[in-house]
Structure 1
Amino acid sequence: MVFTLEQHDSHSYRRKARMISFAMTGQLIIFGMLFSMLLTSTFGSSPWLYALGIFLGLLATSALFAVLRERPWMAEMRYVWQLRQYLSQISGFLPTLRRAVEENNRAALDIVTFYHAGVTQLAELNGRTPPNDAAWLAETTHLAEKREALGLPAQVDTFDSQDLHAFKRS
């Protein structure tokens, strides 16, 4: 599946993320309490029934969230979840990819460059500063130099998860 980096307003994203987090938390609390009250009033008081009520509340909240996640107003949330998923997938292959970058493997160079762009964008969307430790900056500079030397564009905005199949985890 091909994933493309998109531009989103970080303030809007954070505001929606907070609103959705509070709504889902409130819904979990209400459903958990409701199911616990129904179970304990029907079958008597038991810690297991309270726990079952909370679990049923979690299931109900998850089911509602699964239905709502395809709504247009959830587009930014879906985008960030997918970005995190792909970055996590890439991070499992980073040692192998970094070795392949040293061998001038274009696919590895594209994936690691995308990874850097994605991590930077994710940090900005979450209101954090992008990574700026010495190793990260050195790798970013090294990637830019390699891309320039090979005549490749400086930016990589797309990632195809099928490209990772060529690299085995080490």
Structure 2
Amino acid sequence: MAFTLEQHDPDTYRRKARMISIAMAGQLVVFGLLFSMLLAATFGGSFWMNALGVLLGLLATSAMFAALRERPWMTEMRYVWQLKHHLSQISGYLQPLRRGIEEENRVALDIVTFYHQGMSQLAELNGRTTDDDAERLAEKMQIKIKREALGLPEQVNSFDPQDLRAFKRR
């Protein structure tokens, strides 16, 4: 299934990410303490009962988070998780993709163009800049020139993970 880049407001994303992180950390603390106290009251206090309480708190927090991740107010978070997943997937194939670019493989050009656009968008959403990586900027320029020479559009807004199958590590 193809993944398409979407536009999201960086300030909204960062605000929601902070709030959700704080809420989940607070929930983990509360559940961890609650389970530790219940276990200590039931079976007696020990290091292992406290550790089990924290583990149960982590499981309860994870279950709550899994139940809430499909809510509409989690749209930006879900999108960023998916974007990170796909960028990570592509990064595992960068060497074969770069060989494909040297051979002017259009699929490789599309995937690496998407990768650079996704990395830029991720940096923007997180409030960072990516203009300080000379190697990455040089690769982007090389790809832009090759795309222009082949008559390909400058932007690639979607990525199909199935396209990576052609680039198994050679």
TM-score of the superposed pair, with normalisation by structure 2? 0.98
Aligned-pair identity in percent equals 71
1:169 matched to which residue of 2? Answer: 169
Distance in 2, Cα, partners of 1:138 & 1:132: 11
Q: For residues 89-132 of structure 1, give each alpha carbon's deviation from its aligned partner in whole angstroms, at most 9, with x where no partner exists.
A: 00000000000001010000000000000000000000001243
SS at match of 2:159: strand
1:22 matched to which residue of 2? Answer: 22
Distance in 2, Cα, partners of 1:131 & 1:66: 35
Q: What are the equivalent positions in structure 2 for 1:9-158 lying under 5 Å apart?
A: 9-158=9-158
Query: How far is the alpha carbon of 1:133 from its aligned partner?
Result: 1.8
SS at match of 2:3: strand
SS at match of 1:28: helix
Deviates more, 1:130-139 or 1:56-65: 130-139
Deviates more, 1:128-137 or 1:65-74: 128-137
Preserved contact between residue 120 and residue 131 of structure 1 (Cα < 8 Å): no
Query: How far is the alpha carbon of 1:169 from its aligned partner?
Result: 2.3
Supply the RMSD in Å over aligned alpha carbons. Answer: 0.7
Quick one: which amino acid aligns to residue 34 of structure 1?
A: L
Q: For residues 57-91 of structure 1, give each alpha carbon's deviation from its aligned partner in whole angstroms, at most 9, with x where no partner exists.
A: 00000000000000000000000000000000000
Matched residues, number: 170
Structure 2 residue ranges without an equivalent (≥5):
none
Structure 1 residue ranges without an equivalent (≥5):
none
TM-score of the superposed pair, with normalisation by structure 1? 0.98
Quick one: which amino acid aligns to residue 43 of structure 2?
A: F
Distance in 1, Cα, partners of 2:62 & 2:169: 33
Preserved contact between residue 24 and residue 61 of structure 1 (Cα < 8 Å): yes
Quick one: which amino acid aligns to residue 101 of structure 1?
A: I
Which contiguous aligned blocks of 4+ residues in structure 1 show a shift greater than 6 angstroms?
none
Q: For residues 113-154 of structure 1, give each alpha carbon's deviation from its aligned partner in whole angstroms, at most 9, with x where no partner exists.
A: 000000000000000012432111110100100000000000
